[in-house]
Amino acid sequence: MVKADGYGHGAVEVSRAALAAGATELGVATVDEALALRAAGITAPVIAWLHTPSTDFASAIATDVEVVVSTATQLTAVIAAAHRQGRTATVGVKVDTGLARSGVSVREWPEVCALLTDDAVELRTVMCHLARGDEPGHPLNAAQAAGLDAHVADLRRAGLTPRRVHIANSAAALTDRSLCRDVVRTGIALYGRSPVPALGDFGLNPAMTLTAEVAMIKRIAAGQGVSYNHTWTAPRDTVVAVLACGYADGVPRALSNRLTVHIDGRRFASVGRICMDQLVVDLGHDGGGVTEGDRAVLFGGAGVSAGDWAEAAGTIDYEILTGIGGRTVRRYVVPSDSMTP
């Protein structure tokens, strides 16, 4: 899964690394995300399953992107676009087996099955998504899998045999093989984060390390308030560093006065409000040996994790990772124990 710009890691680069490591196909949410992969020269199978009335199905068909539909209206639009081009569209069907989000409803299922017999489309995938996949053993997981299998059986009785059936996300792939079908959709685990933190890290290594450059260092006197509204006041004469990173780059403002960073292996606390473009850390009375131009590790490596940020901000690490952006520059490195970046 490389949707949302590869969970904030860069979809094109992640796609290339994943395919080199053995992934057989790629998944994104929107057709535009799929087209960006095609524009970058990626020719592997790509599926896209989140569509609006303005989605450009013609471009998807022209670039051999598999369109996974959730409604009869969407499938009708794909068929019409395929007829206009004189081409066969590769399609998939997402069925709603209990998440009550996108996916073909029980009411629309007979109509979708009938439309799939049109010569302008070729069925490749049938899929659904788990509502409680991060709760291993929950009875809804097995019920949803049974529902998916029943939909596949319906299609086979109609003479339609999908080439790919899948339901398992990262959590299911790592905790319950009974939920795995032809392929699994590795999402958050691909980026080294645990899909079920209560069960540990599954041996996964987080891929992203977020750093920021020390823009300036200054001495302040005891009693001086720092940043907007002076939510922190220096209890003593001290030295602070201004980091060139803020909430516009994905650092949650909710972490104000709660964030810690590592500079040259030493831990320092952020102080005052996190701003749009910058944040401040307290280096102590001697400045901690930090100089302008040093890089502070905000999360990753041996320090604070994206999960720590998520817990402190009252969210999940998915939101933290996909929120990193703004002026952030990504640099890709090859781990010392791997030939794959």
DSSP 8-state code for residue 298: E
Cβ–Cβ < 8 Å for 267, 321: no
* Contacts by residues 78-84 (CB-CB < 8 Å, ≥ 24 positions apart): 78/121, 79/115, 79/118, 79/120, 79/121, 81/57, 82/120, 82/121, 83/120, 84/58
Task: Pick left, alpha or beta for residue 41 (phi over 0 → left; psi -120 to 50 → alpha; otherwise beta).
Answer: left
Nearest CA among 123, 124, 133, 116 for reference residue 167:
133
Sheet containing 66-69: which strands, arranged edge to edge? 26-28, 46-48, 66-69, 89-94, 121-127, 164-166
Residue found under tokens 């590769």 = 90
Q: Where are the alpha helices (DSSP H) in the chain?
A: 3-7, 11-20, 31-39, 57-62, 72-85, 109-115, 139-157, 170-175, 306-313, 317-323
228 is catalytic: yes
Query: Residue 259 carries which side chain, given as an amino acid letter?
Result: L
3 is catalytic: yes
SS3 state at 121? strand
Q: Of 7, 94, 218, 228, which residue is the catalytic one?
A: 228
Rounding to the nearest 10 degrees, give the CA dihedral for residues 56, 58, 62, 67.
Answer: 70
Q: What is the rounded distance in angstroms from the CA atom of residue 319 to the CA atom of residue 307?
A: 10
Active site amino acids: 3, 228
